[in-house]
């Protein structure tokens, strides 16, 4: 085998694969690889702190999918109140149900955005925890993960409660609306909009999912294309190495 070809092979392989390993080694201590909570970048505590800083700026749009669904139900309720079907609903109960459901969700999401700050609360609790030893750091990161996951669980509950309440109210108004009326069209629209929280996930759920994805990538493979010298010349070779 030609020594020059072997040298080229080693150089190309190291140039393509080694940087990925070197960057991981620079940013992560060797002892941290024992715990994915400590090896992940960014750590849960760092992500929690960053989201806490952005929490106040996103208050107006934080629950937009829930509010859009509620607004559709509220508008449908007002139209049903103005154009009732006296034969089906003489007391206009369906319209009042829609107004009540839509108003409750709009007021509820406004109260949530002004008074419920899961990231800021979690960040303050985690910041007060010691972080000198590996055990203390691990406890700190797991507490941060729990705060992120708790917000995601709240987002999931809100999503399904919104869908069920606004969807049922819209279906009730649709079944009691007059044919060929704007109220019926609005009821159909609000029924469609009730699924908005299912289509567009809440930011709390996105943050939790992203953090879990970052954590999984710690044990992902490092792959690259290298060139290896064979007896008949240099050929490209796909190289994969697990980073554990």
The pTM score is: 0.74
Q: What is the largest CA-CA distance in the chain?
A: 95
Closest CA to 52 of 115, 123, 140, 128: 123
The answer to whether residues 166 and 70 touch, using CB atoms and an 8 Å cutoff, is yes
**What tens digit of pLDDT does each residue of 85-97 get?**
888 888 899 999 9
Q: Where are the domains of the chain?
A: 3-242
**What tens digit of pLDDT does each residue of 94-132 get?**
999 999 999 999 999 999 998 999 999 999 999 999 989
Between the alpha carbon of residue 224 and those of residues 58, 201, 237, the distances in Å are: 40, 35, 9
pLDDT band at residue 13, thresholds of 50, 70 and 90? very low
């Amino acid at each position: 085998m030609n020594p020059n070809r072997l040298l080229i092979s080693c150089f190309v392989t190291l140039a393509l694969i080694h940087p990925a390993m070197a960057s991981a080694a620079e940013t992560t201590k060797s002892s941290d690889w024992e715990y994915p909570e400590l090896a992940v970048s960014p750590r849960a505590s760092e992500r929690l702190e960053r989201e806490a800083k952005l929490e106040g700026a996103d208050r107006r749009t934080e629950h937009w999918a829930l509010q859009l669904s509620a607004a559709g139900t509220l508008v449908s309720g007002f139209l049903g109140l103005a154009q009732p079907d006296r034969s089906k609903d003489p007391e206009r109960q369906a319209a009042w149900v829609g107004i009540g459901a839509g108003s409750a969700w709009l007021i509820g999401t406004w109260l949530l955005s002004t008074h419920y700050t899961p990231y800021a609360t979690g960040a303050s609790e985690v910041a007060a925890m010691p972080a000198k030893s590996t055990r203390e750091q691990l406890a700190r990161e797991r507490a941060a993960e729990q705060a992120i996951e708790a917000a995601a669980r709240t987002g999931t509950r809100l999503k399904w409660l919104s869908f069920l309440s606004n969807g049922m109210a819209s279906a009730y108004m649709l079944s009691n609306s007059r044919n060929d009326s704007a109220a019926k069209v609005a009821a159909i629209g609000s029924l469609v909009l009730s699924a908005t929280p299912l289509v567009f996930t809440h930011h709390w759920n996105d943050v939790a999912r992203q953090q879990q994805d970052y954590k999984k990538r710690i044990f992902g493979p490092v792959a690259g294309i290298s060139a290896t010298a064979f007896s008949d010349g240099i050929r490209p070779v796909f190289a994969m190495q697990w980073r554990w």
